[in-house]
Structure 1
């Protein structure tokens, strides 16, 4: 993985985006880190994902793909979904 700064990325965006097809790129920003890469094998649901999903009590489990295309397990717990809805209502 190639690591670059935000400034480097901004100076040569096109080259780094093209390079991300061959090698993952990590961009260090002031308050965040971004990762660019291509996805050759999109296997979202693996054994670890299933274990984490099953660790959520059954009464709180929901299909995370109905909320997020990524299947992020944060959205698989209705308590998290309801918490975000409450925050948005404020």
Structure 2
């Protein structure tokens, strides 16, 4: 998976759209992460994903797919999930 910034994507959108048919592209934005991939090459769980998931201390690991279809690792950390729930409860 190729990782790029939002700025890089905007400057070379045609290039990255073409590349996404061969390799998944992760677009890092200020407050979000987008994944660009063709259906045939969609691979959410790759070696990098597993490595980052395993970096979360075991007692805080949760299944991110229960919260997000994308499997975004933000949702794999119970501390993040609890923080969002607490924020919602305050409102």
**TM-score per shorter chain, which class?**
0.5 to 0.7
Distance 1:71 1:35 in 2: 11
Tell me the TM-score normalised to structure 1 length.
Answer: 0.60
Tell me the TM-score normalised to structure 2 length.
Answer: 0.59
Query: Greater CA radius of gyration, 1 or 2?
Result: 1
In structure 1, stretches of 5+ residues that fail to align are: 4-19, 25-33
In structure 2, stretches of 5+ residues that fail to align are: 1-12, 21-33
Q: Which moved more, 1:67-76 or 1:39-48?
A: 39-48
The residue that corresponds to 1:2 in the other structure is: 14
Q: Residue 80 of structure 1: CA displacement?
A: 0.1
- CA RMSD between the two structures: 2.5
Q: Residue 35 of structure 1: CA displacement?
A: 8.3
Count of residue correspondences: 64
The equivalences for 1:11-90 within 5 A come to 38-90=38-90
